[in-house]
Amino acid sequence: MKNVALVGMPNTGKSTLFNRLTGAHAKVGNWPGITVDLYAAKLLMGNQIVQLVDLPGVYDLRGYSEDEQVVTTFLGQSRPDLIIVVMNATQLDRQTTLLSELMAFGIPLLAVLSMADEAKSMGITVDEDGLRQALGCPVCLLSAKYGQGVEHLQGAIRQALQSTTPDVTPLTPPQLSAIFERHTQTPAQATHQLTERLDRVLLHPVLGLPIFFSVMLLVFQAVFVLGKPLQDGMSWLFSEGRSQFLEPWLSAWPPLLQGLLLDGLYNGLGTVASFVPLIVLFFAFLGLIEDSGYLSRAAFLMDALMARFGLDGRSFVMLLMGFGCNVPALMGTRVIRSRGLRLLTMLTIPFSLCSARLQVFVFFTAALFTTAQAPWVLFSLYVISILASVFTALIFKRQYVNNEPFVLEMPPYRFPTWRQVALRGWQEVHHFLHRATRFIMLGVILVWVLTHLPVGVEPGSLDSWAGLIGRWLDPLLSPLGIDPRLTIALLFGFVAKEIVIGSLAVIYGLEGQGLVQALAQQIHWTQAYSFMLFALIYTPCVSAIATIQAESRNWRFTTLSVVWPLVLAWCTSWVFYRLANSVWGSA
């Protein structure tokens, strides 16, 4: 099987091309000698199977950042059969250094000039044949966004893998610049006029940030308005499936096994699944904003403010990445060359409201707040997550100092296709469910055992093993309004936040709408919000902790990343619960 490596600078359309070629079949895997998981997919090219590997986006291969080292290590050790170097057709002169360095590896090369649609709109023309002869390697001009030229690329890949011609001759950056200048025609006023007009408003020094936060609030509003009917429908389907099919089918089974399968596995997984539509919508909207280029503007807007806390715009980008999952965001800090800034950013990322915590908060907001209130509640949690991050940075910025200037690629505004948005949303949710399912299944089984043993006790009562643990921790968490049942859910959330809702379904012995109604009747909204604050801030999940240790290689720093959030979570929830009770009272 032939290996093909996809390499390019950030914002050149590399990920879009990878998704166009692989669809939804890409998988994450590790590679010998590589300290980061890479996306890869097996494709049928003619009569042979080809493995396409998506390497991190890098500006050069000088080895300063870990992403650059990953690319260099992969190309040196794995020695792929072909390198596909993706270059933005509108900025070829800025990509000569990386192309020259890739040529030096002595591996067959295929040059892809991406974003042909943008080049055409700017009046830029490219002489493909002339570039092919001058560079000594195949050249393909395409638009991965719309699929134009992709079939031609697939044919070029097949031919390149079958070719027995010598490897490409290395060229220096000045030589490459002369070649690109000779074989491309760029109008004197080749600019993105739409981008310039939008930036006058969206990057306004006064209005920029309010506009950004307003956009995010609209996203939350749309998620709840569109997703609530879908969520109710999923809950109804799981409830009917239990009463109409599973209960009659399992009626002859031993009661203990029935309880494990129905009250444990089915209730836990069913409750989590009922919130998948909301999560899908959230990632679809977030993907739309990110692919449009707007999130890069948000990082630019936040840079001056983040600098006051020892961070910069890149740190804010990583915090935004953490909204999907903290683990890849922590790994993404490898692009930061300053170790002090990198460690400080890693310390703040776990406060990002990740997708696993999102389902917990969506569940509680749907249970205890109206449809009109829910977006504001969720929005407030996102704001608090950012405040917790910057407060942490403020506390520790003198310990982890940054002396590196802020450099960020600012892509033009683009309108993602519906295919891009749908594929991006599916990949995020698929990754979340693939990772979460194992934790959820193991978690709900363990919760069921703790809440139903020893034999003879009332399930979920204070006499069960779970109840004993809850009572033991009650003096610590009761001042926050968190009762023993919620305490048990938090304990399992330490393993993986995805387990929290499933564990509540097992603890209460209810699922879907029944669990929602039970919580609404037994928990005051101040208790629910205090619980959400604690779940938002407290200790990262096991996967995030393991990643922090692997990335920092420092147990002292890893311990700090566990202890500090616990302290901050307790103090934050305590302050809120006391103030809320003094103003609104409690049930």
Position 164 pLDDT exceeds 70:
no
* Encoded tokens for 272: 């989590």
Domain assignment of residue 312, yes or no: yes
Structural domain contains residue 197: no
Count of domains for the chain: 2
Question: Is residue 213 domain-shared with residue 169, that is, in the same domain?
Answer: no
Residue 195 within any structural domain of the chain: no
CB 168 within 8 A of CB 103: yes
Same domain for 114 and 25, yes or no, is: yes
Residue 199 resides in a domain: no
Quick one: tokens of 291?
Answer: 């692919």
pLDDT at 334 over 60: yes
Instruction: Quickly tell me which residue has 């089974």 as its tokens.
Output: 253
Question: What mean pLDDT do residues 140-158 have?
Answer: 89
Most confident range (mean pLDDT) of 53-62, 120-129, 555-564 is: 555-564
Q: Domain check: are 483 and 435 in the same one?
A: yes
Three-state secondary structure call for residue 44: strand
Instruction: Tell me the one-letter amino acid at 583.
Output: V
* For residues 529-541, average pLDDT: 92
Counting beta carbons within 10 angstroms of the beta carbon of residue 66, is it exposed (0 to 12), middle (13 to 18) or buried (19 or more)? Answer: buried
Residue keyed to tokens 């002489």: 127
| In a shared domain, residues 219 and 360 | yes
Residues 214, 164: one domain? no
Query: Is 402 in a helix, a strand, or coil?
Result: coil
Does 75 fall in a domain? yes
* 3-class DSSP state of 473: helix
Helix (H, G, I), strand (E, B) or coil at 84: strand
Please state, in angstroms and rounded to a whole number, the distance separating the CA atoms of residues 347 and 324: 17
Domain shared by 30 and 168, yes or no: yes
364 and 299 share a domain? yes
Q: pLDDT per residue over 356-378, tens digit each?
A: 788 889 888 888 888 888 889 98
- Whether 247 and 290 share a structural domain: yes
CA distance 494 to 541: 5
Question: What pairing do the DSSP bridges indicate for beta strands 27-29 and 38-45?
Answer: antiparallel
pLDDT exceeds cutoff 60 at 24 = no
pLDDT of 404 over the 80 cut: no
End-of-domain residue from the set 121, 152, 185: 185
Q: For residue 30, what pLDDT band results from cuts at 50, 70 and 90?
A: very low
- CA–CA separation, 473 vs 403, rounded Å? 43
Assigned domain for 105 exists: yes
Percent residues over pLDDT 90 in the chain? 22
Q: Does 415 map to a domain? A: no
Task: Tell me, yes or no, whether 413 lies in a domain.
Answer: no
Same domain flag for 231 and 177: no
d(CA 522, CA 262): 23
Three-state SS annotation for 242-309: HHHHHHHHCCCCCHHHHHHHHHHHHHHHHHHHCCHHHHHHHHHHHHHHHHCCHHHHHHHHHHHHHHCC
Residues 6+ apart with CB under 8 A from 488: 447, 450, 451, 466, 469, 470, 503, 507
Position 33 scores a pLDDT of: 46
Q: Are 358 and 326 in contact (CB under 8 A)?
A: no
Domain of 150 in residue numbering reads as 2-185
CA-based end-to-end distance of the chain: 65
What is the reported pLDDT for 574? 96
Q: Are 245 and 158 members of one domain?
A: no
Give the model's confidence band at 408: pLDDT under 50 very low, under 70 low, under 90 confident, else very high: low
| Contact indicator for 527, 482 with CB cutoff of 8 Å | yes
**How far apart are the C-alpha atoms of 499 and 489, rounded to whole Å?**
8
Rounded mean pLDDT of 238-252? 86
Residues 16, 96, single domain; the answer is: yes
Residue 25 pLDDT greater than 70, yes or no: no
What CATH number should be reported for the domain holding residue 53? 3.40.50.300
Query: How many residues are recorded in the chain?
Result: 587
Q: Quote the mean pLDDT of the chain.
A: 82
Q: CA 463, CA 467: separation in Å to the nearest integer?
A: 6
Judgement on whether residues 86 and 226 belong to the same structural domain of the protein: no
Q: For residues 322 and 356, is the Cβ–Cβ distance under 8 A?
A: no
> Starting from the edge strand earliest in sequence, which strands make up the sheet with 48-54, in order?
27-29, 38-45, 48-54, 2-8, 82-88, 109-114, 139-141
